[in-house]
Structure 1
Amino acid sequence: MIVIRRACESDVEAISEMFQIAYGDDYFYPQYYDIQSLKRMILSDDTLFLVAEESDTGAVLGTASVLLEVGAHADLLAEFGRLVVHPQGRGQGIGGKLMKARVEFVQDRLHVGIVENRSAHEFSQRISHQHGFHPVGLLPNKFQLGDRESAALYVCHFGHALELRRNHPHLIPEIYPLAKLALENCQLNCDAIIEAEPRAYPHVKQFQIQEMESELYPVLLRFERGRIKHREIFGRMRLHYGLFQLRVSQGQYLLAYRDGVMVGAIGFMIDEHERTGKIFELVSLDDSPIYYLVSELVRRCREEYGIDYLEVDVSAFSTQMQQTLLENGFLPAAYIPAMVFHDVERLDIVRMVCLLTTWNGDALQVFEPGKPIADLVDQSLRLRTALPKLIQAVKTAPLFAGLSEEQQQYVAASAELETLPEGRVLFRPEDPADKIRVIISGEIEIQNCHAKTVGTIGPDESLGDLASVSEPSHRVLARVKSHGQAMLFSRDSLQQLVHTRPDIGMILFRNHACELADKLQRMNVHALFKQE
Structure 2
Amino acid sequence: MALVMDRAKVEDVDKLLSLYLLIYQDDYPLEIGTNRQVMKEAIENKLEFLWLVMRDDESNAIAGSCIFEMDLKYKIGKVVGVAVADNYRDRKIATTLIEYGTRRILEEQKLVHSLYATTRTLAIHSQRMFLSNGFFPLGIFPNARKIKSYETLTLMAKFKKDLFERRAHVEEVPEIISPMLSIMSEIAGIKFHTRAAKSKCATRSIGAEQESPHGDLGGFEFIYAPFFVQRRFNEVFKNDDDSHFYPFHTPNMLITCNDGTPMNLYATFNKKDHYCVIVTGSKTASVLGKARFKKLIFAMKEMGIYYVETLVRLSSFDTIDFLTQNGFLPSAFYPAMREINGELHDYILLTRTMVPLDFNGMAIDHSFMPFIKQYTQQWIKMNLKSFDVFWN
TM range (shorter): 0.7 to 0.9
Amino acid at match of 2:246: G
Q: Cα–Cα, structure 1 residues 134 and 220, in superposed 2: closer, same or farther, change >3 Å? A: closer
By relative contact order (CA 8 Å, sep 6+), the higher-ranking structure is: 2
Structure with the higher fraction of residues in helix conformation: 1
Q: Cα–Cα, structure 1 residues 184 and 356, in superposed 2: closer, same or farther, change >3 Å? A: same
Per-residue Cα deviation, 1:122-162 (whole angstroms, up to 9, x for no partner): 11111111111111101112223211211111121115632
TM-score w.r.t. the length of structure 1 is 0.64
TM-score w.r.t. the length of structure 2 is 0.85
Amino acid at match of 2:298: R
**Counterpart pick for 2:148 among 142, 146, 149:** 146
Tell me, yes or no, if the aligned pair for 1:311 and 1:353 is still in contact at 8 Å: yes
The match for 1:98 is 97
User: How far apart are residue 288 of structure 1 and its match?
Assistant: 3.4
Per-residue Cα deviation, 1:255-310 (whole angstroms, up to 9, x for no partner): 4588x5x633221111111211001112239963476775454222112x201211
Using the alignment, how far apart are the partners of 2:69 and 2:358 within structure 1?
Answer: 30
User: How far apart are residue 194 of structure 1 and its match?
Assistant: 0.8
Q: Mapping of 1:126-525 within 5 angstroms?
A: 126-158=128-160, 161-168=163-170, 170-199=172-201, 200-206=206-212, 209=220, 231=243, 234-236=245-247, 249-256=250-257, 263-284=262-283, 288-289=287-288, 294-303=293-302, 305-388=303-386, 391-392=387-388
Tell me, yes or no, if the aligned pair for 1:339 and 1:347 is still in contact at 8 Å: yes
User: How far apart are residue 182 of structure 1 and its match?
Assistant: 2.1
Q: 3-state DSSP class of the match of 1:126?
A: helix
Per-residue Cα deviation, 1:390-421 (whole angstroms, up to 9, x for no partner): x316xx8xxxxxxxxxxxxxxxxxxxxxxxxx
Amino acid at match of 2:35: D
User: How far apart are residue 99 of structure 1 and its match?
Assistant: 0.9
Q: Which runs of 5+ in 2 are unaligned?
A: none
Please say which structure displays the higher CA radius of gyration: 1
Amino acid at match of 1:68: M
Amino acid at match of 2:99: K
Q: Cα–Cα, structure 1 residues 22 and 285, in superposed 2: closer, same or farther, change >3 Å? A: closer
Using the alignment, how far apart are the partners of 2:257 and 2:145 within structure 1?
Answer: 31
Using the alignment, how far apart are the partners of 2:229 and 2:275 within structure 1?
Answer: 25
The match for 1:42 is 43
Using the alignment, how far apart are the partners of 2:98 and 2:377 within structure 1?
Answer: 31
Q: 3-state DSSP class of the match of 2:116?
A: strand
Using the alignment, how far apart are the partners of 2:24 and 2:94 within structure 1?
Answer: 17
Identity of aligned residues (%): 17
Using the alignment, how far apart are the partners of 1:211 and 1:330 within structure 2?
Answer: 21
Tell me, yes or no, if the aligned pair for 2:230 and 2:251 is still in contact at 8 Å: no
Using the alignment, how far apart are the partners of 2:371 and 2:82 within structure 1?
Answer: 23
Amino acid at match of 1:35: R
Amino acid at match of 1:205: E
Tell me, yes or no, if the aligned pair for 2:98 and 2:133 is still in contact at 8 Å: yes
Q: Mapping of 1:34-73 within 5 angstroms?
A: 34-44=35-45, 45-69=47-71
Instruction: Indicate the larger mover: 323-332 or 182-191.
Output: 182-191
Amino acid at match of 1:316: L
Q: Does residue 117 of the first structure (1) align with residue 119 of the second (2)? A: yes
Using the alignment, how far apart are the partners of 1:250 and 1:221 within structure 2?
Answer: 10
Instruction: Indicate the larger mover: 189-198 or 126-135.
Output: 189-198
Q: 3-state DSSP class of the match of 2:155?
A: strand
Q: Cα–Cα, structure 1 residues 384 and 392, in superposed 2: closer, same or farther, change >3 Å? A: same
Amino acid at match of 2:320: Q
Tell me, yes or no, if the aligned pair for 2:268 and 2:277 is still in contact at 8 Å: yes
Using the alignment, how far apart are the partners of 2:15 and 2:291 within structure 1?
Answer: 48
Per-residue Cα deviation, 1:167-225 (whole angstroms, up to 9, x for no partner): 23632122210222123312212333212343243232325555569999999878768
Q: 3-state DSSP class of the match of 1:131?
A: coil
The match for 1:8 is 9
Q: Which runs of 5+ in 1 are unaligned?
A: 239-248, 397-440, 442-458, 460-532
Instruction: Indicate the larger mover: 171-180 or 159-168.
Output: 159-168
The match for 2:88 is 89
